[in-house]
Chain A
């Protein structure tokens, strides 16, 4: 089956710990994205990557880091510097054909709770 997978579905961490969220896609998409969603707020872009070994900060990158060593994978690390890490984290990908805006497809998300 083609798609985007995220793991784990639920994650609990203690304050002060770093944690890495996994995102894998087998759609052969060039671009990948990380968003967070908080109650009552729209999706906010954390980081995105348009090509392997390259990524850009989104609107709320502070306290997060990413890597894009393979086309299929775009892991997100939530560091202890992130002040309010409890949120629903969504990974997306898009084919990125041409200069226009491409449809983004989402994984099932990881719900992170900091205790």
Chain B
């Protein structure tokens, strides 16, 4: 299994739809996980940290499944402004100060 793996997409959804992305990881000892969003030609920005079973922030919900080693990101009531690439990030197995970055899942929300 790759250290971090994401479906690259693109996911094309209409406004108001619910969309979910999955991310699988190989380091079973990982304790913390992150979802970042990155707009085209911009820096990544933190969307959500996940330290236990999950986290929720408004329309965004992250869930962690340790047994199957994946984390998911659910976006409800999609907005046009949600169009971006979503990056899944996990700590390096040998050094948790270093992060392993997924390639990202591209989301396009259409009017």
Q: Which residues of A lie under 8 Å from residue B1 when comparing CB positions?
A: none
Looking at B11-19, B66-74, B98-106, the stretch in contact with chain A turns out to be B98-106
Known: A101-B32, A101-B91, A103-B34. A90 touches B43 (CB 8 A): yes
Chain A count of residues within 8 A CB distance of the other chain: 25
Interface centre among B41, B49, B97 (most CB of A within 10 A): B97
Minimum C-beta distance from A111 to chain B (A)? 8
Q: Is the CB of A108 within 8 A of B46?
A: no
Chain A interface, >50% SS class: loop
Minimum C-beta distance from A82 to chain B (A)? 20
Q: Which residues of A lie under 8 Å from residue B44 when comparing CB positions?
A: 43, 90, 106
Q: Is the CB of A101 within 8 A of B97?
A: yes
Mark contacts of B79-100 with chain A using CB atoms, 8 A cut-off: 1 yes-contact digit, 0 otherwise.
0000000010001000011111
Q: Which residues of A lie under 8 Å from residue B101 when comparing CB positions?
A: 42-44
Q: Which residues of B lie under 8 Å from residue A55 when comparing CB positions?
A: none
Known: A90-B43, A106-B44. A101 touches B96 (CB 8 A): yes
Minimum C-beta distance from A33 to chain B (A)? 9
Q: Which residues of B lie under 8 Å from residue A31 when comparing CB positions?
A: 97
Minimum C-beta distance from A23 to chain B (A)? 12
Q: Which residues of B lie under 8 Å from residue A2 when comparing CB positions?
A: none
Q: Which residues of A lie under 8 Å from residue B98 when comparing CB positions?
A: 45, 48, 58
What is the CA–CA distance of A106 and B44 in the complex, to the nearest angstrom?
7
Residue of A nearest to B8 (CB): A40
Residue of A nearest to B99 (CB): A104
Q: Which residues of B lie under 8 Å from residue A109 when comparing CB positions?
A: 42-43
Q: Is the CB of B96 within 8 A of A40?
A: no
Beta-carbon contacts under 8 Å, B37-64 to A: 41-46, 49
Beta-carbon contacts under 8 Å, A58-74 to B: 58
A-B contact pairs, 11 of them (CB 8 A): A31-B97, A41-B103, A42-B104, A43-B99, A43-B101, A50-B97, A58-B98, A101-B91, A103-B46, A103-B49, A107-B43
B-binding residues in A (CB < 8 A): 31, 40-45, 48, 50, 58, 88, 90, 96, 99-109, 111
